[in-house]
Amino acid sequence: MPILPEDLPSKPCLVGVEHDGRRGLVLWSGGRLAQLASGLDGLLRLTTADMRNALQSRADELDPARCELLAPAESQEVWAAGVTYLRSRAARMEESSESDVYARVYEAERPELFFKAAGWRVVGHGGKVGVRGDSTWNVPEPELAVLTNSRGEVVAYACGNDMSSRSIEGENPLYLPQAKVYDRSCAIGPAAVLAWEVDTSGAAITMRITRGGAPVFDGAASLSDMVRDPAELSGVLHSAYPLPAGAWLLTGTSLVPPPPYTAEAGDVVNIEIEGVGRLVNTVAVVPHSGARARPRL
Ligand code: DO4
Ligand code: MG
């Protein structure tokens, strides 16, 4: 969809765009879209100081109406943290037959980190997020998304949606990868707000879900309720795993729509973080092939 200035955060941010059939990265600042000499992969190989310098040397301006908005991700892997808020701990303990693992990880020194998506799969603002065809209970998870460079330094923030199957994870925590990683399960956007332009520590996060235009869930929380520091979580992600083009990290959810809510095709999910912007996506069902791998017992 063409970029509308009101879709973009008011703070300076990096925006993924398609312009004249080419994908790239631009800087949104002072109401203008400026082309950059480097893509996101190139910028994230730099130190924060060098990246800040690189953002000063801009090329031509682009007309937002002639650009399509894309997710702010190139070859970055997307990882996610779990059970970083009391609300998430409670929700997991309710849904799971193995509630103890969630209670333990909430207060353990080592956080829960799991792989979520390859950068090219990330859905942007206005795109379709998925629920699995073989899952009976599905929720969007609104989360602060943190972008780090190759050195693990936090350089930007965005809104993230960790679409999840609660029925699959609830059946057995070992099914987490299937509950979390499937087509269209990750959305990030609308853009990457530069970390030195915004303080997210006490920011409000809200999620509104509508069905046929009517609200079916409305929730608000504060990022200050997170029991772990986002920069420390990113540090653990980078600790034994080189990420030469940086990474996105979803930092966990504090807003869990209670049963009987389950996401359905056509639901519109609106996630907003103060200072970071608004990410809106419509839910679609990701078809399941019917494949099985039953044990020969
Ligand atoms: O432990 C499972 C996943 C938790 C999660 O995604 C969250 O807390 O946001
Ligand atoms: Mg999550």
Q: Residue 292 falls within a domain, yes or no? A: no
Q: Residue 171 falls within a domain, yes or no? A: yes
Q: Assess whether 133 and 18 both reside in one domain.
A: no
Instruction: Pick the atom of ligand 1 nearest to 252's CA.
Output: 9
Q: Assess whether 121 and 172 both reside in one domain.
A: yes
The predicted model scores a pTM of 0.97
Using the predicted structure, report yes or no on whether residue 148 has a pLDDT greater than 90. Answer: yes
We report the CATH number of the domain holding residue 128 as 3.90.850.10
Residue 215 in tokens: 């609200």
Question: Ligand 1 centre and the CA of 54: distance in Å?
Answer: 36
Q: Assess whether 134 and 208 both reside in one domain.
A: yes
Instruction: Determine the residue type at 76.
Output: Q
Question: Ligand 2 centre and the CA of 213: distance in Å?
Answer: 26
Tell me the C-alpha to C-alpha distance, in Å, between residue 276 and each of 90, 114, 158, 195, 248. 27, 24, 6, 10, 15
Tell me the C-alpha to C-alpha distance, in Å, between residue 46 and each of 23, 151, 192, 243. 21, 8, 16, 12
CA 16 – CA 73 distance, rounded (Å):
7
Q: Assess whether 43 and 186 both reside in one domain.
A: no
Question: Ligand 1 centre and the CA of 194: distance in Å?
Answer: 25
29-39: per-residue pLDDT in tens?
999 999 998 99
Domain that holds residue 47: 5-70
Protein residue closest via CA to atom 1 of ligand 1: 82
Question: Ligand 1 centre and the CA of 20: distance in Å?
Answer: 39
In this predicted structure, what is the pLDDT of residue 97? 80
90-127: per-residue pLDDT in tens?
888 888 888 899 999 999 999 999 999 999 999 999 99
Q: Residue 156 falls within a domain, yes or no? A: yes
Cβ contact 155:51 at 8 Å: yes
Protein residue closest via CA to atom 5 of ligand 1: 82
Mutational test site, ligand 1, from 100, 138, 141, 228, max ligand atoms within 8 Å of CB: 141
Instruction: Pick the atom of ligand 1 nearest to 141's CA.
Output: 9
Q: Assess whether 82 and 217 both reside in one domain.
A: yes
Q: How many CA atoms lie within 13 A of 260 on its CB side?
A: 0
Q: Return the H-helix or E-strand segment holding 18.
A: strand 13-19
In this predicted structure, what is the pLDDT of residue 57? 75
- Tell me the mean pLDDT in the region 167-177: 97
DSSP state of 20: T
Q: Residue 262 falls within a domain, yes or no? A: yes
